[in-house]
Amino acid sequence: MSDSTSQSTTPTETGEFNITLFLKNLPLLPGVYRMLDSQGKVLYVGKAVNLKRRVSSYFQKSDQSPRIQLMVKQVAKIEITVTHSEAEALILENNLIKALSPKYNILFRDDKSYPYLMLTGHTFPQMAYYRGTLKKPNQYFGPYPNGYAVRNSIQTLQKVFRLRTCEDSVFEHRDRACLLYQIKRCSGPCTGHISAEDYHESVRASVDFLQGKTSELTATLHAKMQQAAQQLDFETAAQVRDQIQALGLMQSQQFIDSKNAKQKDIDILALAEDNDTVCIHWVSIRGGRHVGDKNFFPDTRYRVSEKLQDYGEAFVAQHYLGKSKPEIIITNFPLPSELRTALNQDHGKQLQYIHKTVGERRVWLQMAERNAQMAIQQHRLQQHSQQYRIEALAQLLDMDADNINRIECFDISHTQGEATIASCVVYEDEAMQPSKYRRYNITTAKAGDDYAAMREVLTRRYGRLADNDDSIGGWPDLVLIDGGKGQVHMALDVWQELGITIPIVGIAKGPERKAGLEELIIPHQQRNIRIEPHNPALHLLQTVRDESHRFAITGHRQKRAKARITSSLNDIPGIGSKRRQALLTRFGGLRGVVAASVHDLSQTEGISQALAEKIYDALH
């Protein structure tokens, strides 16, 4: 929005913000407004057809909801950006909400971008799972609600069309076909078992399948099977027959099988609310196939809108603006004209929006509504369970349950001192928060010294927070240490150095490392205890501890594997920095070097046949 104009807050002569003067000078134009607190943090982002009328209403109405009244009391500054239209204001509002995550806006949080099935633009296209920005000349199918739906489609296409899934570094340097070719999950293009023309025919067929053209595809395969049989090529005929049977099985397993849905990408959105819990159930239909669904729960604690449909509008804006869109969006709530205009402009062509429908599509929508209601019930049960665990933990630690929202847990992982990694996982808002997890490479502690490693990671993390660096998140309410008395005492030393008073709990492994026999070390109560295996407080601590351990050991294994391969290259006589770099460049990394044959290695600049044999022997 390069033509939009911004207006900052209007100060008085003393430099303080003057609300009355600011409201008086607001323009009668469309735009976006931002409300900020005394610390400069954005509380709320909104759009308006008329900025003067909309922003002034917050300070003139006396019948505002309690949440709006609470928000207005915190407003210290207001900023605006004028736009050309309400549709343009909506797009800017959505971008700012995503970037700033204001406390009082409706936020549908999702830690990752949505996954796609990708067919690369290579001579022999690779079929792969993909997240991120869509790039040409690759083809993308989706988005899918989750990774499982993508991998399920990949497995189906492997069985039917036998497309390659290996990375380029492996594909380009094989001298014999891999196991997938042997079990008939790949056609072996890497070693010439299939021609480029025949492979592209398989790619075209898979695209037809993903686009829902299964009837045309089945007819084509039938014709191909009959032709092969007439030519007495019974092996090819049998392969095509198996493809037809696999396609038929896939079609019979689909939730959607409608002529109206064929070749269409459709999203169904059902909005439901029960006792202040709101859920959006998203159903994804791609090429006439039901590929999955997902539930979204916004944070309603700071809800400033009284209208349920505002949640639906917020979801549509955050979910589709700037992202891939289906041809048809079916909802059980109306979409305002400015939102439809913004989506069409963003998409470059007209989308179809259906709110009131009949027949089969009405059945789909009703099913989505039922799923949304059931998801709310399950969500409530989960929340109740988590609240029960937090209350039990608070009672155990002599704390107020309302003051336990964020728990951070640390673990150290290494193999006899090799590739030491520290993990920090976060439990917040009654759930694990993977996007807030962090791993730390331990650099100053001696190999195998878990106490020093714990000191390093705690000093690094909380030293930054003590220096007012909140880029890694806020302060926790409780710190959990996966370890015994030594690690806990080390943590207490760090606390004393940094002036921290956050409660610490150590969770030491019990006899024979059996779950339920852990010893809890609680410094602020000056006691070490074992509690009943079925205690909900212990269940919560075990959940967080186990996740920290999993996250640490996964990072450690990755670091160890990389270090060992690099070390193996360094230890081979005749391999210096130049030859090592040449190998890594030619094969696209360490995995490619390991996958390469002796012949492929010998084709690298500076690598003789004898040296290639040494390299191969050292890595296998």
The dotted CATH code for 5-100 is 3.40.1440.10
Q: pLDDT at position 316, please? A: 93
CA-CA distances (angstroms) from residue 486 to 449, 527, 538?
Answer: 11, 15, 21
CA distance 368 to 371: 5
Q: pLDDT at position 12, please? A: 37
CA distance 206 to 204: 5
Q: pLDDT at position 256, please? A: 47
Show the tokens assigned to 404.
């336990």
For residue 454, give every residue at least 6 positions away whose Cβ sits within 8 Å of its Cβ, in sequence order, or none: 410, 412, 422, 481, 483, 487, 490, 491
For residue 266, give every residue at least 6 positions away whose Cβ sits within 8 Å of its Cβ, in sequence order, or none: 285, 326, 327, 328, 329, 330
Give phi and psi for 230, each to the nearest 5: -65, -30
Residue range(s) in the chain whose domain bears CATH number 1.10.150.20: 572-619
Closest CA to 293 of 181, 372, 348: 372
**Residue entry with tokens 């714990």:** 454
Fold of 266-377: Nucleotidyltransferase; domain 5 (3.30.420)
Tell me, what amino acid is at 275?
N
CB 270 within 8 A of CB 376: no
CB-neighbour burial class of residue 393 (10 A; exposed 0-12, middle 13-18, buried 19+): buried
Q: pLDDT at position 144, please? A: 84
CB 390 within 8 A of CB 402: no
Which helix (H) or strand (E) segment holds residue 382: the answer is: helix 359-397
The dotted CATH code for 572-619 is 1.10.150.20
Residue range(s) in the chain whose domain bears CATH number 3.40.1440.10: 5-100
Q: If you write DSSP's letter for every residue of 133-173 in order, what string do you get?
A: ---TTSEEE---SSHHHHHHHHHHHHHHH----S-HHHHTT
- The ranges of the chain with pLDDT < 50 are 1-3, 7-14, 252-259, 261
Q: pLDDT at position 396, please? A: 93
Closest CA to 486 of 387, 388, 431, 412: 412
Whether residue 573 has a cis bond before it, omega within 30° of 0: no
CB 272 within 8 A of CB 371: no
Q: If you write DSSP's letter for every residue of 37-96 in order, what string do you get?
A: -TTS-EEEEEEESSHHHHHHHHHH-S---HHHHHHHHH--EEEEEE-SSHHHHHHHHHHH
**Residue entry with tokens 């959105």:** 269
CB 340 within 8 A of CB 353: yes
CA distance 382 to 405: 16
**Residue entry with tokens 């009244």:** 69
pLDDT in tens, 542-594: 999 999 999 988 887 777 666 655 556 766 777 887 887 788 777 766 667 77
Residue range(s) in the chain whose domain bears CATH number 3.30.420.340: 405-557
Question: Number of C-alpha atoms within 13 angstroms, CB side, residue 543?
Answer: 19
Whether residue 336 has a cis bond before it, omega within 30° of 0: no
Degrees to nearest 5, angle at CA 120 with 602 and 111? 110
CATH of 405-557, picked from 3.60.21.10, 3.30.420.340, 3.40.640.10, 3.40.50.11900, is 3.30.420.340
Closest CA to 291 of 111, 116, 110: 116
Q: pLDDT at position 5, please? A: 54
Beta bridge partners of 281: 270, 295
CB-neighbour burial class of residue 519 (10 A; exposed 0-12, middle 13-18, buried 19+): middle
Show the tokens assigned to 219.
């007819």
Show the tokens assigned to 64.
């505002």
What is the number of residues in the chain?
620
Q: What is the largest CA-CA distance in the chain?
A: 95
Closest CA to 522 of 508, 499, 537, 506: 506
